[in-house]
Amino acid sequence: MTRTVVISGGGTGIGKAVAARFAADGDRVAIIGRRADVLERTAKEIGGIALAADLSEPAEVERVRADLAERFGTIDVLVNNAGGNIERHGGSGDVAARWTGNFRANVLTSVLPTEAFRELLNPNGTVVFVSSIAAFRGSGGTSYGPMKAALHPYAFDLASALGPRGITVNVVAPGFIEDTEFFRGTMDDERRAMLVGQTHTGRAGTPQDIAETVHWLASPGGGHVTAQIIQVNGGAERGR
């Protein structure tokens, strides 16, 4: 059965890998993000649909909801992958501005579309939030980790609310995932060796690692898994 899959932050990295994984099954895939040119390239590559929008803005979320409803009617899988650390490259010394920025980038971009699209979700559908190892270990003094952590109890409550409809809700928390914009430009050989050294598997993660986990959660094999946080970090959260 062909499913309709909606993925935020689907133009690059993890989101692109997730989109490609579902598209390979013949599913209808819609990717959402702020950069129309990036989205269009990826959509053309995987055979999906690009919807440019800033998901931290309620009006744009409503526009996307109306578009999805008109195109597809319903949604089977919603993957909330959009996010990033706006404090990574410094910025204003204004604490409120930094925390508000990461709240918008990581919490609102997941909560607003989920609330707007939840009535479009088919029975036995799937919702997945992409969090981070930083939600468990901290993020070097930035607000990124706390904002990702905020998604966890939200996902638990949503799983309870949507469970009667057969909809599962889970969180995937990646660690060091190479070949993503999140780490690009911030990685020297020493830091890479340190992050890989924290794993038990002796390697960096890949976007495909996350894509396969998300795909499984949306498969019959993951049908009785809900209100869980699946860590995909090679054991790094436990330390060496």
* 154: annotated active-site residue: no
Q: Which two tokens stand for residue 115?
A: 């609330």
Instruction: Please state, in angstroms and rounded to a whole number, the distance separating the CA atoms of residues 169 and 176.
Output: 23
Could you say which of 22, 144, 176, 182 is catalytic?
144
Spatial contact of 86 and 56, defined as CB atoms under 8 Å apart: no
Spatial contact of 51 and 23, defined as CB atoms under 8 Å apart: no
Spatial contact of 23 and 49, defined as CB atoms under 8 Å apart: no
Q: Which two tokens stand for residue 136?
A: 């468990």
CA neighbor of 53 nearest in space, from 10, 90, 91: 10
Rg of the Cα atoms in the chain: 17
Spatial contact of 159 and 168, defined as CB atoms under 8 Å apart: yes
Say which residues have a Cβ less than 8 Å from residue 185's Cβ, sequence separation at least 6: none
Q: Which two tokens stand for residue 10?
A: 């689907």
Look at residue 124 and give its three-state secondary structure.
strand
Q: Catalytic residue numbers? A: 144
